[in-house]
Copies of this chain bind each other. A is one copy, B any other.
Amino acid sequence: MEVYEDIFAKFLAKKGLKLTQPRRYILEEVFEMHTHFNVEELYDRIRSKTSKISMATVYRTIPLLLEAGLIQRADRSEGRERYEHILGHPKHIHWVCKNCGALWETDFNSLYPALIKRAQDLKFKPDDIELTVKGICWKCNTNDNENQSDEK
């Protein structure tokens, strides 16, 4: 049994809920995907393997996975929420280029301890950390020299 399955099972049991087959399919697929995903993508991928799943169940399972700390909200794209699994993916920073739309990630590194200390000062027990930085990537910045003209 995978570690995430164990975690989810215990989480559900504690709430008097069951680790059913549909929930197992969802869980497996979530951890087979190593990119951000939205609910429909998740559903489609499971659907390509089995028909024993419905959209509603996927929607219903997302909040459970969030609460269990197995996934986190990543961003929102084209009007849809996107998620990513967490295990093996330490909390990280999302960098989004507002010009070309490129997205990449780095880990927290030196920022992490500082943030944790900050939380301790506030007596806050952190759970999900979501850090997104939007701006212009180096590539677009280099190609955009014509816009430098109106700098004061």
**Copies of this chain per assembly:** 2
Q: Which of B93, B98, B128, B135 contacts A135 (CB 8 A)?
A: B128
Q: Which of B115, B122, B132, B150 contacts A138 (CB 8 A)?
A: B122
Check if A122 sits within 8 Å of B106, measured CB to CB: yes
Q: With a 10 A CB-CB cut-off, give which of A110, A119, A134 has the most chain B CB atoms.
A: A134
Which A120-144 residues sit within 8 Å CB-CB of chain B? 122-138, 141
Number of residues from A at the complex interface, CB < 8 A: 33
Check if B127 sits within 8 Å of A135, measured CB to CB: yes
Q: Which of B111, B126, B138 contacts A111 (CB 8 A)?
A: B111
* Contacts A111-B115, A130-B130, A131-B131; A124 near B95 (Cβ below 8 A): yes
A87 at the interface (CB under 8 A from B): no
Instruction: With CB as the reference atom, state the residue of chain B lying closest to A97.
Output: B124
A106 proximity list for chain B (CB < 8 A): 118, 122
